[in-house]
């Protein structure tokens, strides 16, 4: 320190010290600083129907997306109130083809952009979402009937998590991946280069209209693709707002908004999209039945597909679990978004010693859950929103009746709910079904409704046997005070995802792939695997040194003069390159030299 002080006090040396410091800082900036293109702020007015207290729309007698005599129109309505949100034209096949062509033209330029240019678009989107959370949540609530809390957690938080992970880690996932060329090709550089496929398609479900729509757009854009998103006809009203948001972000950053195209409609438009030769990859989120149809349609052009087909997710609760943490987590796993979650908890298996107290506490809690329309009920208090599909109510009642007939007990709920303030809304009573066993239909069929199913088990193997009686295998949870047991059981579950002492948090960890096994589908989105699925993984080699190239020895050059000698030569090449012992390789090398003479 004294030396430094002396140098600074010496006027003759001060300019030198300053020059060295400035030069060092400049060199560090040049060598290590990455130029970041900032987010560009913009504004977008949300639709007036999303405002709390809006009541201008007509109350529909029997809310339905179908317009009598008009197959070209989709009737939009708020499932929490039954109030009309207007009608949206269904996309025609000609319009779809035109959108695909426009997307492909725009993608040619977009594929040449840098990762930093793509990051700027995502930063712009991220900042807009952060600054307009309430507006986005209100639009999602109006179109799907969920609560503001459920919209924040399932629509906004998940989207920001995906944006931030992609901004920070997307380039590392997609940069050229150098590989070991092996002994024989040591003079080559070998790498995998991730190139965009072109135009990708996403057919997404209705349970989270914002996140399910924008999530695939984030991955498609960052991987250099254009995308056509088919939004579900059940949430067609909000589609325009999401589309405007994404296109505004692209446009304000100086890129062609035609990169992203949104369509909506019924089965005909979905089939036209999945069978189109203009589509290079398909992501489908839906049911196993429709997933099979998507595969069949995609097979016309051998278009690769990623299928996420729902789940019958289990939570295994051992007697030593921390119930003060476990019970609130599982309540959210069942009640959040009226359990319209692909990774919602649909089966809770509780060990015998804790079963009775667990059931009693869940019964107390479920009886207090309040249903309602959050944008209309104000401070009345709403815990659980409406169901997007009312035509599933008969199926839910049938599954509950089958379970009761086979020995289960329905302690709470079990039927559609006529809301006193919103009699035309689509509500199902929060339900508690206990003493459920594997032979009951409800254990093998996805309910997608606010039904807590509780089963009893004895030990680890009994729990695993009961879980595996279902053909689904998406997500899972294991709760135990014994960390080793929790991990052991989780790793034995035939599922694509598992959480110990938690529910669904793997999806907030956007570095992890998302997907299942069995009839829950195949392929993955999210994480590096999700980005790479939208790319052609091109194997690439080039000469490491310009003066070293692959020669064809005369002994095997066409026309081959002596085929037996040529065969012996190639045989020794294999022995030389791949023998386990150095001595065997040396002997093969000597034979090669002899054969070459």
CB 290 within 8 A of CB 469: no
Q: Alpha helices, DSSP H only, in 33-157? A: 93-110, 115-131, 133-144, 148-151
Q: Alpha helices, DSSP H only, in 374-501? A: 374-377, 393-405, 460-467, 483-492
Spatial separation of the C-alpha atoms in residues 217 and 109, rounded to whole Å: 17
Spatial separation of the C-alpha atoms in residues 537 and 348, rounded to whole Å: 40
Parallel, antiparallel, or unpaired: how do β-strands 305-308 and 260-264 relate? Answer: unpaired
CB 310 within 8 A of CB 496: no
Active site residue 342: yes
- The Cβ-side half-sphere exposure at 536, using a 13 Å CA radius, reads 12
Active site residue 308: yes
Spatial separation of the C-alpha atoms in residues 109 and 262, rounded to whole Å: 20
From the list 459, 519, 457, the residue with the least C-alpha distance to 494 is 519
CB 274 within 8 A of CB 142: no
Secondary structure tally for the chain: helices H, strands E: 20, 22
Neighbours of 55 (CB within 10 A): 10
Exactly one of 308, 346, 429, 446 is catalytic; name it. Answer: 308
Find the farthest-apart pair of alpha carbons in the chain and give their distance in angstroms, rounded. 98
CB 226 within 8 A of CB 200: yes
Spatial separation of the C-alpha atoms in residues 140 and 78, rounded to whole Å: 10
Q: Helix (H, G, I), strand (E, B), or coil: what is residue 318?
A: coil
Exactly one of 253, 314, 342, 384 is catalytic; name it. Answer: 342
Distance set, CA 510 to CA 72, 107, 342, 347, 589 (Å): 38, 26, 16, 25, 51
Q: For helices 115-131 and 209-222, what crossing angle results, to 10°?
A: 160
As given in the structure block, the two tokens for residue 295 are 């595969």
Active site residues: 308, 342
């Amino acid at each position: 320190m004294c030396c430094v002080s002396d140098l600074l006090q010496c006027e003759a040396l001060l300019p030198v010290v300053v020059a060295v410091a400035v030069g060092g800082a400049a060199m560090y900036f040049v060598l290590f600083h990455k130029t970041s293109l900032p987010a560009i702020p913009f504004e977008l007015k949300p639709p007036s129907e999303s405002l709390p207290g809006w009541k201008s729309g007509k109350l529909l007698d029997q809310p339905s997306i179908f317009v009598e005599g008009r197959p070209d129109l989709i009737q939009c309505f708020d499932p929490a109130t039954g109030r009309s949100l207007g009608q949206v034209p269904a996309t025609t096949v000609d319009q779809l083809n035109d959108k695909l062509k426009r997307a492909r033209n725009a993608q040619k330029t977009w594929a040449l952009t840098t990762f930093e240019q793509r990051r700027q678009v995502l930063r712009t989107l991220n900042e807009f979402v952060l600054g307009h959370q309430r507006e986005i949540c209100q639009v999602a609530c109006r179109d799907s009937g969920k609560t503001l809390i459920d919209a924040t957690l399932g629509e906004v938080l998940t989207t920001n998590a995906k944006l931030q992970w992609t901004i920070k880690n997307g380039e590392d996932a997609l940069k050229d991946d150098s590989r070991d060329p092996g002994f024989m090709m040591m003079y080559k550089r070998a790498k995998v280069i991730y190139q965009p496929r072109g135009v990708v398609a996403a057919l997404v479900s209705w349970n989270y209209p914002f996140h399910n729509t924008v999530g695939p757009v984030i991955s498609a854009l960052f991987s250099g693709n254009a995308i056509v998103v088919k939004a579900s006809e059940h949430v067609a009203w909000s589609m325009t707002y999401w589309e405007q948001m994404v296109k505004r972000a692209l446009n304000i950053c100086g890129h062609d908004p035609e990169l992203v195209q949104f369509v909506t409609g019924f089965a005909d438009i979905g089939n036209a999209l999945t069978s189109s030769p203009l589509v290079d990859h398909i992501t489908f989120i839906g049911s196993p039945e429709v997933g099979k149809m998507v595969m069949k349609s995609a097979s016309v052009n051998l278009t690769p597909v990623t299928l996420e087909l729902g789940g019958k997710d289990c939570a295994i609760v051992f007697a030593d679990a921390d119930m003060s943490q476990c019970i609130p987590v599982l309540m959210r796993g069942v009640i959040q978004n009226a359990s319209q979650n692909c990774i919602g908890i649909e089966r809770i298996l509780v060990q015998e010693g804790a079963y009775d107290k667990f059931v009693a506490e869940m019964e107390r809690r479920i009886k207090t859950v309040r249903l309602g329309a959050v944008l209309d009920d104000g401070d009345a208090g709403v815990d659980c929103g409406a169901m997007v599909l009312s035509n599933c109510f008969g199926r839910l009642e049938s599954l509950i009746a089958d379970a009761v007939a086979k020995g289960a007990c329905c302690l709470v709920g079990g039927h559609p709910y006529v809301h006193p303030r919103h009699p035309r809304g689509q509500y199902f009573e929060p339900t508690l079904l206990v003493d459920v066993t594997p032979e009951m239909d409800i254990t093998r069929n996805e309910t997608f409704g606010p039904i807590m199913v509780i089963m009893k088990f004895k030990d680890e193997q009994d729990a695993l046997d009961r879980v595996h009686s279902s053909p689904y295998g998406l997500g899972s949870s294991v709760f135990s005070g014994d960390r080793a047991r929790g991990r052991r059981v989780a790793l034995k579950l035939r599922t694509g995802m598992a959480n110990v002492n938690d529910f669904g948090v793997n999806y907030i960890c956007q570095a992890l792939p998302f997907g299942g096994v069995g009839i829950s589908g195949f392929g993955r989105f999210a994480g590096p695997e999700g980005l790479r699925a939208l790319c052609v993984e091109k194997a690439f080699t080039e000469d490491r040194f310009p003066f070293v190239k692959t020669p064809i020895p005369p002994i095997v050059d066409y026309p081959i003069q002596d085929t037996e000698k040529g065969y012996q030569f190639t045989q020794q090449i294999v022995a030389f390159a791949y023998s386990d012992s150095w001595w065997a390789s040396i002997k093969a090398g000597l034979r090669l030299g002899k054969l070459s003479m």
